[in-house]
Amino acid sequence: MPDSFRSAASIALLAAATAICPPLAAQGPGNEPRTPDPYAGTVYDGDWLAVGVGAALNPSYDGSDDYVISPLPLVQGNLGGVAIAPRPAGIALDFIPDGDSGVNVVLGVAARLNRNRVVRIADEVVSAYGKLDTAIEIGPTLGLSFPRVLNPYDSVTVGADVLWDVAGAHKGMTIAPSITYFTPVSKGAAISFSLSARRVDDDYAAYYYSVPVAPASVPPAQRLPVFDATGGFDKWGAMLLAGVDFDGDLTNGGLAGFLLGGYSRMLGDASDTPFTSVRGSASQWLIGAGIGYTF
């Protein structure tokens, strides 16, 4: 899928399934904590793993106004004290175990595939300008999580992924900060709302947003103006996630489903490039749904 909604650690599409898990484990009958350890006696006590799959309707490339359906695989969990969090087309590992109370530190590594304008370019003119190579982006992920902000079971997480392309595609760097608010709404359901942005360097912007001289295969009437893009903030976004456990209890694992909706806005040269301003749209929408199993 394109990179339009990849900017934040917890707003990432696949994180929809993760938002329905650990914080609710503290909730027992009568809305009282079960034990001093909020995870004791739940599926999240010790090692656990969630796997699943979903689908999303999203733009065919960053800045496109054509929409395609993309798969959303899911892997998330905690094994040997290392937290595993999903990224669209990627994964993140947090090496700092969370405490039962107080501010938690997120520090680890994230990696993902960036296949923007690699496949499934719905616009024939943009496609005629050539497909790009797959980027493999790797770098640190870091942040802070603040539990019990408005109620005993909610949290606010701020963080960022700082990634470099190691495959030689765009050869650039991105910084993607985000802020996410999570809260359970019952023992069997939870919601999460996130805001994010992304800043890209000149190499990234030139690779994805610059427009070269039109290939001979593009009819003269459809040729786009030459455009030289430079770095800066290329988007901001918002996403709302909702998760529901199928047996009404998120703390015992098993099957759960999620729904998500998101909006992002291309900024700067990512908005001004003819790939967006002539052939696409700066407004980017997404809807999706999926199912997962936790054990």
pLDDT at 9 over 80: no
pLDDT at 251 over 90: no
pLDDT at 12 over 60: no
Task: Quote the CA–CA distance of 279 and 273 in Å, as a whole number.
Answer: 9
Where on the phi/psi map is residue 63: left (φ > 0), alpha (ψ -120 to 50), or beta?
Answer: left
- What pTM was computed for the model? 0.86
Residues whose CB is less than 8 angstroms from the CB of residue 274 and which lie 6 or more positions away in sequence, other chains included? 211, 224, 225, 227
Residues of the chain with pLDDT > 90, as a percent, come to 71
Residues of the chain with pLDDT > 70, as a percent, come to 86
pLDDT digits 0-9 by tens, 34-88: 445 566 778 888 899 999 899 999 999 999 999 999 988 888 899 998 999 887 7
Structure-block tokens of residue 207: 């690779």
Predicted confidence at residue 23, as pLDDT, reads 44
Least confident of 145-149, 203-207, 222-226: 145-149
User: In the chain, what are the domain boundaries?
Assistant: 15-294
Task: Quote the CA–CA distance of 2 and 198 in Å, as a whole number.
Answer: 14
pLDDT at 27 over 70: no
Find the Cα–Cα–Cα–Cα dihedral 176, 179, 184, 185, rounded to 10°. Answer: -110
Mean pLDDT of the chain: 87
pLDDT at 17 over 90: no
Nearest to 202 by CA among 234, 225, 177: 234
Task: Quote the CA–CA distance of 222 and 243 in Å, as a whole number.
Answer: 44
CATH 1.10.10.10 at 15-294, yes or no: no
Give residue 104's identity as a one-letter amino acid code. Answer: N
Instruction: Read off the pLDDT of each residue in 12-39 and give the average, rounded to a whole number.
Output: 44
Least confident of 16-30, 31-45, 137-151, 181-195: 16-30
pLDDT at 3 over 60: no
Predicted confidence at residue 5, as pLDDT, reads 38
Instruction: Read off the pLDDT of each residue in 257-284 and give the average, rounded to a whole number.
Output: 97
